[in-house]
Amino acid sequence: MIKQQKKQYKAVIAGKTYIISGEASLPHFKSTEELLNKQFKQIAVIAPKLSKFDQAILLTFNSISDQLYKQAEIDELNEKIAQMQAEIKMLQSQKERLKPKKSAVSSIIATARQESRTRSSNKIFKETNK
């Protein structure tokens, strides 16, 4: 796996400038900054008397809470995928078992046909050589 080069991004968060360093794309940095500022403003409206630090703590708490919900959702989806893959394997093995196998009877018939063709060919060959 090729490691991406680290980039620096100048973000203004809650009125203060930060230099963010990471491997994300510029649109990712920009989207993160915009979402962070939007949520900061929402907290400021809901709890205007809190200090910026306390607002940041609430924002962090909310972000981690959302992350936990998303991880639980991912885990649940991964579990469903594993169940579906197991069902697919089971259905494939059932399908393999149900495939018609060449029976002894069909094998005997095929051999008899071949022998009949050979006898006919030999009979024709003998008649033309007389």
Domain definitions of the chain by residue range: 7-99, 102-130
Kind and range of the H or E run holding 12: strand 7-13
- For the chain, state the CA radius of gyration: 36
Tokens 């078992």 -> residue: 97
Backbone angles phi, psi at 102, to 5 degrees: -65, 115
- Is the model's pLDDT at 102 over the cut of 90? no
Q: pLDDT (tens digit, 9 = 90+) per residue, 31-87?
A: 999 999 999 999 999 999 999 999 999 999 999 999 999 999 999 999 999 999 999
**Rounded Cα distance, 29 and 21, in Å:** 10
Q: pLDDT (tens digit, 9 = 90+) per residue, 12-27?
A: 999 999 999 999 999 9
Number of residues that make up the chain = 130
Tokens coding 117: 């063709």
Backbone angles phi, psi at 26, to 5 degrees: -60, -45
Q: What pLDDT does 63 receive?
A: 95
End-to-end Cα distance, the chain = 78
Tokens 């005997």 -> residue: 108
